[in-house]
Amino acid sequence: MAFELPKLGYNYDALEPHIDARTMEIHHSKHHQGYTNNLNAAIAGTDLEGKSIEAILETLDMKNAAVRNNGGGFYNHTSFWEAMNPEEKGYLSGDLKDAIDAAFGSKDEFISAFSKAAGTRFGSGWAWLCVHKGGKLEICSTPNQDNPLMPDVGCGGAPILGLDVWEHAYYLNYQNRRPDYIKAFFNVVNWNVIEKRYEALK
């Protein structure tokens, strides 16, 4: 069973004005579709076929560039779309709020540290909030389509919030102003989704 491009849980214009409809459409229907197609081509006929994307990434041979780039791209974008669902957006609460306060001081201090990781990633990549077994949180970033699930990326635990800082994610609307895009992202984060991930993975 090949991987399929996941449908968004909302319309392309649902994140306006923070993330524009044209960027969403190209990012989902072209970029994410491309990663999906290339991942399927890369695993066809290999022993990776039929495995979950998490299993593929956790046991990845990092020298396998096609699966590293496209498997990462498939997983990262799926996670990214879900994290911005504008339906029942919610607010930071519960155990996740407590864990963020404990690790970073406050929600604002968390956003500041996460934004720094996203802003200082040179070139293309992602910023992450990860949870380790036991509930400890970590902020980190990875280049290209690497992902904390992959071995030895210098970033551990399970990712519960990721931000795409490739230029394709923001250039149409924000041009070179990555900090403005990062700030806008926090207007569309669905904290209910992040809290559910935290509860499931801590």
Residues near Mn ion (CB under 5 A) = 164, 166, 169
DSSP 183: H
Smallest distance from Mn ion to CB 130, Å: 19
Which C-beta is closer to Mn ion: that of 47 or that of 122? Answer: 122
With CB atoms as reference, the residue minimizing the distance to Mn ion is: 164
Which C-beta is closer to Mn ion: that of 27 or that of 202? Answer: 27
Q: Are residues 150 and 164 in contact, defined by beta-carbon separation less than 8 angstroms?
A: no
Smallest distance from Mn ion to CB 196, Å: 23
Which C-beta is closer to Mn ion: that of 146 or that of 164? Answer: 164
Smallest distance from Mn ion to CB 128, Å: 14
Smallest distance from Mn ion to CB 32, Å: 7
What's the N-to-C CA distance of the chain in angstroms?
A: 30
Question: Could you check whether the bond before residue 17 is cis, i.e. omega within 30 degrees of 0?
Answer: yes
What burial class does residue 87 get, using C-beta atoms within 10 Å of its C-beta: 0-12 exposed, 13-18 middle, 19+ buried?
Answer: exposed
Which C-beta is closer to Mn ion: that of 31 or that of 116? Answer: 31
Q: Are residues 92 and 191 in contact, defined by beta-carbon separation less than 8 angstroms?
A: yes
